[in-house]
Amino acid sequence: MGVQKRRPSRRLKKKEKRGSESVDVVDPPSNKTDIANSPLASASSSGSKPSPGYSKPSPIATATAMILAENQIKQELSLDTPSTSAVTLCALQSILLNKANNLIQQSKEQQREEETREVYSPSDEVFPVIGMTGGELLRHYVDELKRAMDRRRLMFTDTYMLAVMNDCGDVPFTNPSTAPPHTMGRQSVAQKFDHLLAFEYCKNTPGFDLLRDVERMIYFRLTAISFALLDIAWITAKTTSRNDERPVMVFTDGSVCTVNDYSFGWEDEITDKGLLLKKEHKIVYFNEFVTRLYRAVIVPFQEMHIEQVEYAALKALCILKLGYCEYSQNIRSLAKEQEKAILLGLNEYYEDRQDKPQRIGNLILFMGTIFEIIQLIIEQYKTAELFGLFNLDCISKTLLSV
Protein backbone atom coordinates (compact mmCIF):
# COMPACT_ATOMS: atom_id res chain seq x y z
CA MET A 1 0.00 0.00 0.00
CA GLY A 2 1.54 3.17 -1.07
CA VAL A 3 2.04 6.07 1.26
CA GLN A 4 -0.13 8.99 0.34
CA LYS A 5 1.82 12.17 0.12
CA ARG A 6 0.44 15.08 2.09
CA ARG A 7 0.22 18.24 0.07
CA PRO A 8 1.82 21.28 1.65
CA SER A 9 -0.81 23.45 3.37
CA ARG A 10 -1.27 27.00 2.32
CA ARG A 11 -2.47 29.76 4.54
CA LEU A 12 -5.55 31.23 3.06
CA LYS A 13 -7.42 34.24 4.09
CA LYS A 14 -10.79 33.47 5.48
CA LYS A 15 -13.53 34.95 3.45
CA GLU A 16 -16.86 35.89 4.67
CA LYS A 17 -19.64 36.56 2.31
CA ARG A 18 -21.92 39.40 2.92
CA GLY A 19 -24.51 39.38 0.25
CA SER A 20 -22.66 39.31 -3.01
CA GLU A 21 -19.39 40.70 -1.63
CA SER A 22 -16.59 38.94 0.10
CA VAL A 23 -14.83 40.76 2.92
CA ASP A 24 -11.41 39.95 4.20
CA VAL A 25 -11.46 39.35 7.94
CA VAL A 26 -8.27 39.96 9.84
CA ASP A 27 -7.44 39.37 13.49
CA PRO A 28 -7.74 42.38 15.83
CA PRO A 29 -4.47 44.23 16.30
CA SER A 30 -2.43 43.56 19.40
CA ASN A 31 -2.82 46.36 21.93
CA LYS A 32 0.82 46.38 22.91
CA THR A 33 2.13 46.64 19.36
CA ASP A 34 -0.39 48.90 17.69
CA ILE A 35 -0.97 51.31 20.53
CA ALA A 36 2.75 51.68 20.98
CA ASN A 37 3.01 52.70 17.33
CA SER A 38 -0.11 54.84 17.42
CA PRO A 39 -0.23 58.64 17.08
CA LEU A 40 -1.07 58.86 20.79
CA ALA A 41 2.23 57.24 21.71
CA SER A 42 4.17 59.37 19.26
CA ALA A 43 2.46 62.50 20.57
CA SER A 44 3.38 61.69 24.14
CA SER A 45 7.00 60.86 23.27
CA SER A 46 7.66 63.62 20.77
CA GLY A 47 8.69 66.05 23.50
CA SER A 48 6.19 68.71 22.51
CA LYS A 49 6.10 71.66 24.89
CA PRO A 50 3.02 72.32 27.02
CA SER A 51 0.91 75.31 26.22
CA PRO A 52 2.12 78.53 27.87
CA GLY A 53 0.55 79.51 31.17
CA TYR A 54 0.35 75.97 32.45
CA SER A 55 2.86 73.90 34.38
CA LYS A 56 3.87 70.56 32.87
CA PRO A 57 1.97 67.66 34.50
CA SER A 58 3.95 64.92 36.13
CA PRO A 59 4.66 61.67 34.20
CA ILE A 60 2.48 59.79 36.67
CA ALA A 61 -0.46 62.09 35.97
CA THR A 62 0.01 61.70 32.20
CA ALA A 63 0.31 57.92 32.35
CA THR A 64 -2.70 57.68 34.64
CA ALA A 65 -4.76 59.80 32.29
CA MET A 66 -3.81 57.64 29.30
CA ILE A 67 -4.60 54.38 31.11
CA LEU A 68 -7.94 55.69 32.30
CA ALA A 69 -8.78 56.82 28.79
CA GLU A 70 -7.74 53.49 27.28
CA ASN A 71 -9.83 51.49 29.75
CA GLN A 72 -12.81 53.73 29.18
CA ILE A 73 -12.55 53.29 25.42
CA LYS A 74 -12.26 49.54 25.79
CA GLN A 75 -15.44 49.46 27.81
CA GLU A 76 -17.30 51.68 25.38
CA LEU A 77 -16.21 49.80 22.27
CA SER A 78 -16.09 46.31 23.80
CA LEU A 79 -12.91 45.28 21.98
CA ASP A 80 -13.26 41.68 23.09
CA THR A 81 -16.41 41.14 20.99
CA PRO A 82 -16.47 40.45 17.28
CA SER A 83 -18.98 43.27 16.75
CA THR A 84 -16.20 45.86 16.85
CA SER A 85 -14.07 44.20 14.27
CA ALA A 86 -15.23 46.66 11.69
CA VAL A 87 -14.05 49.69 13.68
CA THR A 88 -10.89 50.97 12.18
CA LEU A 89 -7.74 51.40 14.24
CA CYS A 90 -7.45 55.03 13.21
CA ALA A 91 -10.84 55.90 14.70
CA LEU A 92 -9.95 54.11 17.92
CA GLN A 93 -6.68 55.98 18.23
CA SER A 94 -8.35 59.32 17.54
CA ILE A 95 -10.96 58.80 20.25
CA LEU A 96 -8.33 57.60 22.69
CA LEU A 97 -6.13 60.63 22.00
CA ASN A 98 -9.02 63.07 22.57
CA LYS A 99 -9.96 61.41 25.84
CA ALA A 100 -6.38 61.50 27.10
CA ASN A 101 -5.95 65.16 26.13
CA ASN A 102 -9.11 66.11 28.02
CA LEU A 103 -7.94 64.35 31.16
CA ILE A 104 -4.48 65.93 30.91
CA GLN A 105 -6.06 69.37 30.49
CA GLN A 106 -8.16 68.83 33.61
CA SER A 107 -5.04 67.73 35.49
CA LYS A 108 -3.23 70.92 34.46
CA GLU A 109 -6.08 73.16 35.60
CA GLN A 110 -6.34 71.37 38.93
CA GLN A 111 -2.60 71.69 39.49
CA ARG A 112 -2.71 75.40 38.70
CA GLU A 113 -5.56 75.95 41.18
CA GLU A 114 -3.62 74.15 43.92
CA GLU A 115 -0.50 76.25 43.26
CA THR A 116 -2.58 79.44 43.39
CA ARG A 117 -4.07 78.47 46.75
CA GLU A 118 -0.60 77.77 48.14
CA VAL A 119 0.87 81.11 46.97
CA TYR A 120 -1.99 83.38 48.12
CA SER A 121 -1.87 84.72 51.65
CA PRO A 122 -4.24 87.10 53.51
CA SER A 123 -1.25 89.40 54.05
CA ASP A 124 -1.29 90.12 50.29
CA GLU A 125 -4.58 91.99 50.66
CA VAL A 126 -4.33 95.68 49.75
CA PHE A 127 -6.59 97.77 51.96
CA PRO A 128 -8.57 100.32 49.91
CA VAL A 129 -8.32 103.41 52.14
CA ILE A 130 -4.62 103.28 53.03
CA GLY A 131 -3.56 101.60 49.76
CA MET A 132 -1.17 99.22 51.54
CA THR A 133 -0.90 95.62 52.62
CA GLY A 134 -0.53 94.72 56.27
CA GLY A 135 3.19 94.15 55.89
CA GLU A 136 3.69 97.50 54.16
CA LEU A 137 1.78 99.38 56.87
CA LEU A 138 3.79 97.70 59.62
CA ARG A 139 7.04 98.61 57.88
CA HIS A 140 5.80 102.20 57.64
CA TYR A 141 5.36 102.44 61.41
CA VAL A 142 8.74 100.81 62.01
CA ASP A 143 10.30 103.49 59.79
CA GLU A 144 8.46 106.18 61.77
CA LEU A 145 9.91 104.81 65.01
CA LYS A 146 13.43 104.77 63.56
CA ARG A 147 13.01 108.32 62.28
CA ALA A 148 11.94 109.57 65.73
CA MET A 149 14.92 107.90 67.40
CA ASP A 150 17.34 109.45 64.91
CA ARG A 151 15.87 112.89 65.58
CA ARG A 152 16.30 112.38 69.33
CA ARG A 153 19.90 111.36 68.72
CA LEU A 154 20.41 114.56 66.77
CA MET A 155 18.75 116.69 69.45
CA PHE A 156 19.90 115.22 72.75
CA THR A 157 23.16 113.27 72.30
CA ASP A 158 26.80 113.82 71.37
CA THR A 159 26.57 111.18 68.64
CA TYR A 160 24.30 113.29 66.45
CA MET A 161 26.52 112.82 63.38
CA LEU A 162 25.58 109.13 63.31
CA ALA A 163 22.02 110.18 62.56
CA VAL A 164 23.29 112.45 59.78
CA MET A 165 25.57 109.91 58.12
CA ASN A 166 23.46 106.79 58.62
CA ASP A 167 19.88 105.82 59.29
CA CYS A 168 20.55 104.22 62.68
CA GLY A 169 17.02 104.00 63.99
CA ASP A 170 18.03 102.45 67.31
CA VAL A 171 17.65 103.92 70.80
CA PRO A 172 20.12 106.85 71.01
CA PHE A 173 20.81 106.57 74.76
CA THR A 174 23.15 103.78 75.80
CA ASN A 175 24.52 104.47 79.29
CA PRO A 176 21.92 105.61 81.86
CA SER A 177 24.54 105.54 84.61
CA THR A 178 26.16 108.67 83.17
CA ALA A 179 22.92 110.39 82.14
CA PRO A 180 21.86 113.73 83.67
CA PRO A 181 19.09 113.86 86.31
CA HIS A 182 15.57 114.51 85.16
CA THR A 183 14.26 118.01 85.90
CA MET A 184 11.09 119.93 85.12
CA GLY A 185 13.12 122.35 83.01
CA ARG A 186 14.42 119.55 80.82
CA GLN A 187 10.89 118.15 80.69
CA SER A 188 9.57 121.36 79.14
CA VAL A 189 12.13 121.22 76.31
CA ALA A 190 11.61 117.51 75.68
CA GLN A 191 7.86 117.96 75.61
CA LYS A 192 8.02 120.52 72.82
CA PHE A 193 10.25 118.23 70.80
CA ASP A 194 7.87 115.32 71.37
CA HIS A 195 5.06 117.45 69.95
CA LEU A 196 7.14 118.01 66.82
CA LEU A 197 7.70 114.26 66.45
CA ALA A 198 3.98 113.63 66.99
CA PHE A 199 3.19 116.18 64.28
CA GLU A 200 5.44 114.38 61.78
CA TYR A 201 3.95 111.04 62.82
CA CYS A 202 0.41 112.28 62.13
CA LYS A 203 1.23 113.91 58.80
CA ASN A 204 2.85 110.68 57.59
CA THR A 205 0.03 108.41 58.78
CA PRO A 206 -1.63 106.70 55.76
CA GLY A 207 -5.13 108.11 55.36
CA PHE A 208 -4.52 111.21 57.50
CA ASP A 209 -5.02 113.42 54.44
CA LEU A 210 -8.54 112.00 54.06
CA LEU A 211 -9.67 113.25 57.48
CA ARG A 212 -11.58 116.45 58.12
CA ASP A 213 -10.07 119.31 60.12
CA VAL A 214 -11.73 118.37 63.41
CA GLU A 215 -10.78 114.72 62.93
CA ARG A 216 -7.16 115.67 62.31
CA MET A 217 -7.10 117.71 65.51
CA ILE A 218 -8.48 114.77 67.51
CA TYR A 219 -5.94 112.37 66.05
CA PHE A 220 -3.04 114.75 66.70
CA ARG A 221 -4.15 115.32 70.30
CA LEU A 222 -4.20 111.58 71.01
CA THR A 223 -0.85 111.11 69.31
CA ALA A 224 0.83 113.96 71.18
CA ILE A 225 -0.45 112.81 74.58
CA SER A 226 0.66 109.20 74.19
CA PHE A 227 3.79 109.69 72.08
CA ALA A 228 6.22 110.57 74.89
CA LEU A 229 4.70 108.13 77.37
CA LEU A 230 5.11 105.14 75.07
CA ASP A 231 8.62 106.10 74.00
CA ILE A 232 9.71 106.49 77.65
CA ALA A 233 8.70 102.87 78.23
CA TRP A 234 10.44 101.67 75.06
CA ILE A 235 13.68 103.58 75.69
CA THR A 236 13.88 102.46 79.33
CA ALA A 237 13.19 98.81 78.46
CA LYS A 238 15.98 98.79 75.86
CA THR A 239 18.63 100.61 77.91
CA THR A 240 18.14 99.11 81.38
CA SER A 241 17.58 95.72 82.99
CA ARG A 242 14.98 94.75 85.56
CA ASN A 243 17.79 93.09 87.52
CA ASP A 244 19.61 96.38 88.05
CA GLU A 245 20.35 97.13 91.69
CA ARG A 246 19.09 100.67 91.28
CA PRO A 247 16.50 100.72 88.48
CA VAL A 248 15.96 104.00 86.70
CA MET A 249 13.51 105.44 84.21
CA VAL A 250 14.95 107.01 81.06
CA PHE A 251 12.99 109.94 79.61
CA THR A 252 12.82 110.95 75.96
CA ASP A 253 15.66 113.47 76.33
CA GLY A 254 17.99 110.91 77.93
CA SER A 255 17.65 112.18 81.51
CA VAL A 256 16.88 109.66 84.26
CA CYS A 257 15.32 109.32 87.69
CA THR A 258 15.45 106.43 90.13
CA VAL A 259 12.36 104.28 90.64
CA ASN A 260 12.58 102.51 93.99
CA ASP A 261 14.13 105.41 95.86
CA TYR A 262 14.40 109.16 95.41
CA SER A 263 18.17 109.47 95.30
CA PHE A 264 18.52 110.77 91.74
CA GLY A 265 16.30 112.91 89.54
CA TRP A 266 14.11 114.04 92.45
CA GLU A 267 16.24 116.92 93.73
CA ASP A 268 14.96 120.39 94.59
CA GLU A 269 14.96 122.83 91.69
CA ILE A 270 13.86 126.28 90.64
CA THR A 271 11.02 126.22 88.13
CA ASP A 272 10.71 128.38 85.02
CA LYS A 273 8.48 130.70 87.01
CA GLY A 274 11.17 131.20 89.64
CA LEU A 275 9.46 129.06 92.26
CA LEU A 276 11.19 126.49 94.43
CA LEU A 277 9.99 122.98 93.64
CA LYS A 278 10.95 120.77 96.53
CA LYS A 279 11.74 117.08 96.42
CA GLU A 280 8.72 116.10 98.51
CA HIS A 281 6.43 117.91 96.09
CA LYS A 282 7.86 115.97 93.16
CA ILE A 283 7.28 112.73 95.03
CA VAL A 284 3.65 113.61 95.71
CA TYR A 285 2.87 114.65 92.14
CA PHE A 286 4.95 112.24 90.02
CA ASN A 287 5.87 109.15 92.04
CA GLU A 288 2.61 107.36 91.23
CA PHE A 289 3.10 107.86 87.51
CA VAL A 290 6.75 106.72 87.56
CA THR A 291 6.07 103.64 89.68
CA ARG A 292 2.97 102.62 87.74
CA LEU A 293 4.60 102.98 84.32
CA TYR A 294 7.73 101.11 85.39
CA ARG A 295 6.00 98.13 86.99
CA ALA A 296 3.04 97.76 84.64
CA VAL A 297 4.71 98.42 81.27
CA ILE A 298 8.50 98.66 81.38
CA VAL A 299 9.18 95.48 83.37
CA PRO A 300 6.78 93.41 81.19
CA PHE A 301 8.50 94.88 78.11
CA GLN A 302 11.82 93.62 79.46
CA GLU A 303 10.45 90.20 80.40
CA MET A 304 8.88 89.82 76.98
CA HIS A 305 12.04 91.09 75.23
CA ILE A 306 9.79 93.23 73.07
CA GLU A 307 11.18 93.76 69.59
CA GLN A 308 11.27 96.93 67.53
CA VAL A 309 8.57 95.74 65.13
CA GLU A 310 6.30 94.73 68.00
CA TYR A 311 6.70 98.06 69.76
CA ALA A 312 5.99 100.01 66.55
CA ALA A 313 2.79 97.99 66.09
CA LEU A 314 1.74 98.48 69.73
CA LYS A 315 2.35 102.22 69.53
CA ALA A 316 0.21 102.56 66.41
CA LEU A 317 -2.58 100.42 67.86
CA CYS A 318 -2.67 102.43 71.11
CA ILE A 319 -2.90 105.74 69.28
CA LEU A 320 -5.63 104.42 66.96
CA LYS A 321 -7.79 102.89 69.70
CA LEU A 322 -7.33 105.61 72.32
CA GLY A 323 -10.03 107.90 70.92
CA TYR A 324 -12.73 105.48 69.80
CA CYS A 325 -15.29 107.15 72.05
CA GLU A 326 -14.83 110.50 70.30
CA TYR A 327 -14.13 109.33 66.74
CA SER A 328 -16.53 110.13 63.92
CA GLN A 329 -17.60 107.34 61.59
CA ASN A 330 -15.03 108.49 59.05
CA ILE A 331 -11.99 108.28 61.31
CA ARG A 332 -13.32 105.13 62.99
CA SER A 333 -13.39 103.36 59.62
CA LEU A 334 -9.79 104.39 58.99
CA ALA A 335 -8.76 103.20 62.46
CA LYS A 336 -10.43 99.81 62.05
CA GLU A 337 -8.83 99.24 58.67
CA GLN A 338 -5.39 100.12 60.02
CA GLU A 339 -5.85 97.87 63.06
CA LYS A 340 -6.72 94.91 60.85
CA ALA A 341 -3.77 95.64 58.56
CA ILE A 342 -1.32 95.91 61.48
CA LEU A 343 -2.45 92.59 62.94
CA LEU A 344 -2.07 90.93 59.54
CA GLY A 345 1.39 92.46 59.27
CA LEU A 346 2.30 91.05 62.68
CA ASN A 347 1.02 87.65 61.63
CA GLU A 348 3.27 87.82 58.58
CA TYR A 349 6.21 89.01 60.72
CA TYR A 350 5.93 86.11 63.15
CA GLU A 351 5.58 83.55 60.32
CA ASP A 352 5.98 80.09 61.86
CA ARG A 353 7.02 81.16 65.36
CA GLN A 354 5.39 78.93 67.93
CA ASP A 355 4.94 81.78 70.41
CA LYS A 356 2.96 83.91 67.93
CA PRO A 357 -0.41 83.69 69.77
CA GLN A 358 1.18 84.55 73.11
CA ARG A 359 3.07 87.57 71.78
CA ILE A 360 0.09 89.02 69.93
CA GLY A 361 -2.04 88.44 73.03
CA ASN A 362 0.50 90.25 75.22
CA LEU A 363 0.51 93.26 72.91
CA ILE A 364 -3.28 93.49 73.04
CA LEU A 365 -3.31 93.20 76.84
CA PHE A 366 -0.76 96.03 77.10
CA MET A 367 -3.23 98.48 75.57
CA GLY A 368 -5.61 98.48 78.53
CA THR A 369 -2.80 99.24 80.97
CA ILE A 370 -1.39 101.97 78.76
CA PHE A 371 -4.80 103.66 78.48
CA GLU A 372 -5.01 103.85 82.28
CA ILE A 373 -1.56 105.41 82.56
CA ILE A 374 -2.36 107.93 79.83
CA GLN A 375 -5.36 109.12 81.84
CA LEU A 376 -3.13 109.34 84.90
CA ILE A 377 -0.52 111.49 83.16
CA ILE A 378 -3.20 113.83 81.78
CA GLU A 379 -4.38 114.53 85.31
CA GLN A 380 -0.80 115.09 86.46
CA TYR A 381 -0.14 117.56 83.66
CA LYS A 382 -3.21 119.51 84.71
CA THR A 383 -2.00 119.47 88.32
CA ALA A 384 1.48 120.62 87.30
CA GLU A 385 0.04 123.54 85.38
CA LEU A 386 -2.30 124.45 88.20
CA PHE A 387 0.46 124.59 90.81
CA GLY A 388 3.10 126.04 88.51
CA LEU A 389 5.44 123.04 88.66
CA PHE A 390 6.56 123.74 85.09
CA ASN A 391 5.30 125.77 82.18
CA LEU A 392 3.15 123.92 79.70
CA ASP A 393 3.61 125.07 76.13
CA CYS A 394 0.68 126.43 74.15
CA ILE A 395 0.15 123.15 72.33
CA SER A 396 -0.07 121.17 75.58
CA LYS A 397 -2.53 123.65 77.07
CA THR A 398 -4.72 123.45 73.99
CA LEU A 399 -4.64 119.67 73.90
CA LEU A 400 -5.51 119.34 77.59
CA SER A 401 -8.40 121.79 77.31
CA VAL A 402 -10.12 119.99 74.42
Q: Based on the domain organization, do 206 and 285 belong to the same domain?
A: yes
- DSSP codes of every residue in 228-240: HHHHHHHHHHHH-
Single out the residue in 120, 143, 167 at which a domain terminates.
120
Q: Which residues pair with residue 68 across a beta bridge?
A: none
Q: What is the CATH number of the domain that holds 214?
A: 1.10.565.10
Q: Based on the domain organization, do 271 and 346 belong to the same domain?
A: yes
Single out the residue in 100, 120, 140 at which a domain terminates.
120
Q: Which domain holds residue 86?
A: 30-41+56-120
Q: Based on the domain organization, do 81 and 64 belong to the same domain?
A: yes
Q: Based on the domain organization, do 190 and 265 belong to the same domain?
A: yes
Q: Based on the domain organization, do 278 and 305 belong to the same domain?
A: yes
- 260 inside domain: yes
- 50 inside domain: no
- Residue 301's Cβ-side half-sphere holds a number of Cα atoms within 13 Å equal to 28
Q: Based on the domain organization, do 150 and 108 belong to the same domain?
A: no
- 267 inside domain: yes
- 180 inside domain: yes
Q: How many domains is the chain partitioned into structurally?
A: 2
CA 141/CA 147 separation, integer angstroms = 10
CA 329/CA 212 separation, integer angstroms = 11
- 222 inside domain: yes
Tens-level pLDDT at each residue, the chain (402 residues): 444 444 544 444 444 444 444 444 444 444 444 444 444 444 444 444 444 444 555 555 665 666 666 666 656 555 445 444 445 566 666 776 777 777 777 777 777 666 554 444 556 788 888 999 999 999 999 999 999 999 999 999 999 898 888 878 899 998 888 999 999 889 889 989 999 999 999 999 999 999 999 999 999 988 998 888 999 999 999 999 988 889 999 999 999 999 989 999 999 998 777 778 899 988 988 899 999 999 999 999 999 999 999 999 999 999 999 888 888 999 999 999 999 999 999 999 998 888 998 999 999 999 999 999 988 888 877 776 666 666 667 777 777 666
Total residues belonging to the chain: 402
Q: Based on the domain organization, do 103 and 134 belong to the same domain?
A: no
Q: Based on the domain organization, do 185 and 232 belong to the same domain?
A: yes
Residue of 153, 142, 154, 151 lying closest to 195 (CA atoms): 151
- 182 inside domain: yes
Q: Based on the domain organization, do 106 and 158 belong to the same domain?
A: no
